[in-house]
Amino acid sequence: MTAMDDIRPAPPTPVNSALSRAIAKLTDIESVNYALTNWLPRRSATRAMGWLSKVEHPLVARSLIAVWRIFCDVDLSDAAEARWPSLHAAFIRRLRPGARTFRAPAHQLSSPSDGIIVASGRIDGDSIIQAKGRRYSISELTGGEGEAYIGGSFVTLRLTAGMYHRFHAPQDAVVERVRYFPGDCFNVNPPALNRVDRLYCRNERATVRLRLDDGTPVLLVPVAAILVAAIRLTFLDTVKLLRERADPVATLATPVVQGEEMGWFEHGSTIVMLTPAPFVTAAGVATGDRVRAGDVLFDRVVIEDI
């Protein structure tokens, strides 16, 4: 029996279920939740968690995965594997074939990831909604790329810690530009969104610009968070990009097909998706919805000449 063979998720016990409910009640108190996750030394906690999560000792991995399942709403039923050598491996797990379906026609855009829609709507000017009563600049978020999307629509997806953490191409396209922004690592949960101004603009993030087959730009903005601070792309070495370039920008011409994996977070986080007119949020898409990668988020509206 190998170390990996020995590490598998245990079914929840009544004690664990009761503890999960107690923790949920405590963290439902916004001030407590915010204090617990943002008053910590965020960078130190993130570095420590990054190191600890990659330890491949069976006892350490088994214990961490058990704690993760107690604190987070974790669904491993569609994972490609049933056991992992470390907590990190469980975080960035792949899914079994067919677990997510991408079938959006060319006039629609799919959700790039699983997530909860925390904000969505039309982009009427430079600012969009972060949370009730708080807005932020898309120009600041994107480093000056926001103007192309004014008049279009946006969706913000929050990936919780227990969700599937990989993200995918929302449509057939070419990746033409990536820019990486070093930054903070505030939590991106509702208590933080309600309290921290311009949170997404302050956190570590990347802009990934896609060009659809008809030339329309679409921008994905993966945003890191506490215990994450690591966004990995399948088509670009982001660590090398940060290490070798003072201004971490990469110009590319990388084709992707709808549903193709583009990258992953090393814990839960956020993706802001910006689309220009004539894209609008699809019928039925609403703030608070839980979506899965492949679900349709945007429709292209065509106004025919009369």
* Residue numbers annotated as active site: 114, 168, 269
Lookup result for tokens 């930054």:
183
Amino acid at 183: G
Long-range contacts at 42-45 (CB < 8 A, ≥ 24 apart) = 42/184, 42/185, 42/186, 42/226, 43/185, 43/229, 45/226, 45/227
Report the chain's C-alpha Rg in angstroms: 19
Burial class of residue 276 in the structure, from the number of CB atoms within 10 Å of its CB (0-12 exposed, 13-18 middle, 19+ buried)? middle
Q: In degrees, to the nearest 5, what angle opens at C-alpha 88 toward C-alphas 71 and 93?
A: 90
Query: Quick one: angle between helices 58-71 and 42-53, nearest 10?
Result: 130
What is the SS3 assignment for 58? helix
Q: Within 13 Å and on the Cβ side, how many CA atoms surround 201?
A: 19
Beta pairing class for 261-265 and 166-168: antiparallel
Amino acid at 105: P
Q: Do the beta carbons of residue 90 and residue 118 sit within 8 Å?
A: no
